[in-house]
Amino acid sequence: MPNLHTPISAHDFHQGDLNAPIQLVHFGDFECPYSGALDIALHHLRNSEGDHLLYVFRPFPLSDIHPHAHIATRAAYAANDQGQFWPMYDVLFQNQNALGATFLKIYAEKLGLDSARFESDFRSDKYEDHIARSVEDAKASGAHGTPTLYINGQFHDNREGLWKLQRLRNAVRDVTKQEN
């Protein structure tokens, strides 16, 4: 089984306590329909698990099959620089079929971001090293596609159908049972 290459840290895009008993790392692609479906299941899981769950998102844009994945990732980073990563994350997954540059700019405006700053940051190459490191980390962690999850360090991939809520809950339950 592959191991998570880079340990979770405060520098990750995360929601929840870094010491939560359930730690879920998601290597995802904003344009991937399976990552989008998983996001819906993750919202339910986060609501049910509350403080027991740490959720980490690590971008893994599969640009060869999802032509807007890379620019959507840049938009998320640009939103993050204005303290709005998670609202942009939600908008990107909710609008997976509309991730062109014009749409991304509209989403930034709707989120109340400084439009000129967003546009400048988004159009620059300032995030390319971050994105490249995230992709390298995904590959070094054994990810071949999206979504790929690590639940308390255990590898799970798209073939398991974890975008279905019950399968995701079962995977979390099985991992936590093994630890007790």
Q: What is the pLDDT of residue 123?
A: 94
Q: What residues contact 45, with CB distance under 8 A and at least 6 apart?
A: 24, 53, 165, 168, 169, 172
Separation between Cα atoms, residue 178 and residue 180, nearest integer Å: 6
Q: What is the pLDDT of residue 43?
A: 93
Q: What residues contact 118, with CB distance under 8 A and at least 6 apart?
A: 75, 78, 79, 82, 105, 108
Would you say 158 and 26 are in contact if contact means Cβ atoms under 8 Å apart? no
Helix H, strand E, coil C: the string for 107-130 is: HHHHCCCCHHHHHHHHHCCCCHHH
Q: What is the pLDDT of residue 160?
A: 72
Q: Is the pLDDT at 99 greater than 80, yes or no? A: yes
What dihedral do alpha carbons 160, 164, 165, 169 form, nearest 10°?
-10
Q: What is the pLDDT of residue 159?
A: 75
Q: What is the mean pLDDT of residues 154-162?
A: 80
User: H or E stretch including 27?
Assistant: strand 22-28
Q: How do residues 9-20 score in pLDDT, each as one tens digit? A: 999 999 999 999
Q: How do residues 101-146 score in pLDDT, each as one tens digit? A: 999 999 999 999 999 999 999 999 999 999 999 999 999 999 999 9
Q: Which of the residue ranges 15-19, 26-30, 152-156 would you say has the lowest mean pLDDT?
A: 152-156
Q: What is the pLDDT of residue 111?
A: 98
Q: Is the pLDDT at 1 greater than 70, yes or no? A: no
* DSSP letter string, 121-164: HHHSSTTHHHHHHHHHHHHHTT--SS-EEEETTEEEEGGG-TTS
In order of start, what are the domains of the chain with their CATH numbers? 13-173 (3.40.30.10)
DSSP 46: H
Q: How do residues 29-84 score in pLDDT, each as one tens digit? A: 999 999 999 999 999 999 999 999 999 999 999 999 999 999 999 999 999 999 99
What is the rounded average pLDDT for all residues in the chain?
Answer: 94
Q: Is the pLDDT at 178 greater than 90, yes or no? A: no
Q: What residues contact 94, with CB distance under 8 A and at least 6 apart?
A: none
Q: What is the pLDDT of residue 170?
A: 87
